[in-house]
Amino acid sequence: MSPADTVFAGLLGEAFADLAAPVRALHASDGPPCWQGQCVVSRGSHPLARLCAWAARLPPAGQGVPTTVQFQRRSDQEIWTRRFGAAAMRSRMWPHHGRLRERLGLVQFDFGLSVSNGGIVWNTLGVRVFGLLPLPAAWFARVHCRESADALGRYTFDVQASLPWIGAVVRYQGWLLPG
């Protein structure tokens, strides 16, 4: 499988070459199948935020949480198994009509991907529960992810999710290196 055969390379097209080296390496077909690092996870306190976090299998709160991500890649999909300490969060991603579709627990997201300053920005374009029931896209305007590289040459991530009337659901941010 060549780098162009990965889900992210296919969706980003020529812009894939503009990614910072750690971001490109994480998404390359010949990239290491396991990355390790640490992160900080904060969770919202609203009861509905806790319910949403449970439905999407989001990680529990913690500081300096040992983090591992294992990748199973094929040209048509990727399975990411993220471990935040003892908590596992698994998702499946695939291209769908020029978007990245991710199934995370009971929730299915459609993301638009763009390259900015050597990183990838994920913007939420649609959400479905059970893959069937569409939810208003406006509810998810504050659900996004930013991948980048830091000055130490590490892959970095910052995932934030907030919802109207509920506030913060989760934020996890940290770094990874090939493991």
- Indicate the helix (H) or strand (E) that contains 71: strand 62-73
Q: Could you tell me if 147 and 18 are in contact, meaning their C-beta atoms sit under 8 angstroms apart? A: no
The distance of Cα 8 from the centroid of its chain, to the nearest Å, equals 12
DSSP 21: H
Handedness of CA 132, 80, 124, 50 (dihedral sign): positive
**The pLDDT of residue 77:** 93
**The pLDDT of residue 30:** 79
- State the pTM of this model: 0.90
Average pLDDT along the chain, 179 residues, taken 10 residues at a time: 73 96 91 92 92 83 94 88 93 96 91 97 92 86 93 96 90 95
The type of residue at 73 is: R
Q: How far apart are CA 36 and CA 47, in angstroms?
A: 31
